[in-house]
Amino acid sequence: MREYLLTLCVTVAVTYLLTGPVRKFAIAAGAMPEIRARDVHREPTPRLGGIAMFGGLCAGLLIADHLQSLNGVFERSNEPRALLSGAALIWLVGVLDDKFELDALIKLGAQMIAAGVMVIQGLTILWIPVPGIGTVALTQWQGTLLTVALVVITINAVNFVDGLDGLAAGMVCIATCAFFLYAYRIWFGYGIEAAAPATLFAAILMGMCLGFLPHNMHPARIFMGDSGSMLIGLVLAASAISITGQVDPDTMALFVGGERNATHAMLPVFIPLLLPLTIIAIPMADLVLAIVRRTWKGQSPFAADRGHLHHRLLELGHSHSRAVLIMYFWSGLIAFGTVAYSVNSASMWIVLAIAALSALGLVLLLLPRFTPRAPRWAEGLVPPRYRHARRAAEAAAEAARPIAAGVSGVNGATAVGPRSRFPDRRKAGSAR
């Protein structure tokens, strides 16, 4: 675990330190598009944040290659090189799109090519464990098509949800954290070495998102752009493909008592067709709804609009920060709930806890105008906007009292106010 924590910290530090210079470079390069009708921000903000995230990816892979416990991943597997090749290609296309606004079909073709590059180098799905049947081996063409489809779906799901400050990076970080815990359990809990690359990819992806988030939280100083959203989507998909294509369910059967039990135990992150629904369920739902909505209106599925889930939260009355936190909550609930259920599906407490948290999430969703206020003893532990909420309300009330008194004096309800004192001054002048 120490090696993974070191890799995580190095990735966080490099990404964080690179984001500031990248922001200045993006401003100098003119990568600051005008405000569009669907945008939520009010001021032009530089893009190209994916440059810093790609630097963090390279730094994470480099430091892992020089650690004794992790360099075996590079010696026994070609997956890190496959990931770096596909990531470099999709990142380059994203940089060009952030600057020149490429056509959607060009980006789609680049995503398929990047997935194909990874498949050629061995990062592909070899088999699928099906509950009740067992392991189903795939042909080369079947594995290639399924791998490319998973990469394209995941990239676009993350790209579609990147509409609010800190939303995509935070949601991917939460999902990746849950994925890391499960992959680490397979690697060190069961001793299955084939899960080591996926565990490493998840740790690096967490570092990329955590290092970028301080610059991207509302109000954002820089956006990741397509160079960042497509990059983290590809790394997330590569982590899932790695554990799906390399971990043999027959090996799991030795630990959990039979092939069918092994298939059931690994189901939440093992079947590629279900992975987007469990690990990135919210972005996937947003993607499906966007395609259906745009197709129903006779538009292109790639035509941008303001009908995404985060836009609807803003229309309900939620603030920018609260809409992001609500999306964080649901993403974490689904991802961690799925992983917890896969570890111990017989526990009723897990089901009850998920149900209770879901009810809490619905309450928060339906109360957009509720403003939490921290008590005085806890003001030092909360952000400033909650720390001074009570003081601001009291100051506003104090400021409103003289105004209300003046208005009531004008209406003749009281003798206090500027007009009530004016006759006294006139009388005093006549007395002189």
Instruction: Flag whether 97 is marked binding.
Output: no
Exposed / middle / buried, residue 193 (Cβ in 10 Å: 0-12, 13-18, 19+) = middle
Token pair recorded at residue 122 = 């061995």
Per-residue confidence (pLDDT) for residue 35, from 0 to 100: 66
Instruction: Flag whether 250 is marked binding.
Output: no
Per-residue confidence (pLDDT) for residue 335, from 0 to 100: 79
pLDDT along the chain (432 residues), means of 10: 91 96 92 64 80 96 90 88 95 93 90 94 81 73 90 87 83 87 80 84 94 89 92 91 71 54 50 48 69 74 62 65 80 79 70 81 67 64 55 58 53 45 43 40
Distances (CA, A) of 409 to 60, 400, 422, 427: 70, 14, 12, 19
Token pair recorded at residue 309 = 């889930």
Per-residue confidence (pLDDT) for residue 222, from 0 to 100: 92
Per-residue confidence (pLDDT) for residue 106, from 0 to 100: 92
- Give CA–CA dist 140/121, Å, rounded: 13
- Angle at CA 164, nearest 5°, toward 382 and 369? 55
Per-residue confidence (pLDDT) for residue 401, from 0 to 100: 58
Q: Is residue 179 classed as helix, strand or coil in its secondary structure?
A: helix
Per-residue confidence (pLDDT) for residue 400, from 0 to 100: 57
Per-residue confidence (pLDDT) for residue 307, from 0 to 100: 60
Token pair recorded at residue 135 = 């392991």
- Give CA–CA dist 288/291, Å, rounded: 5
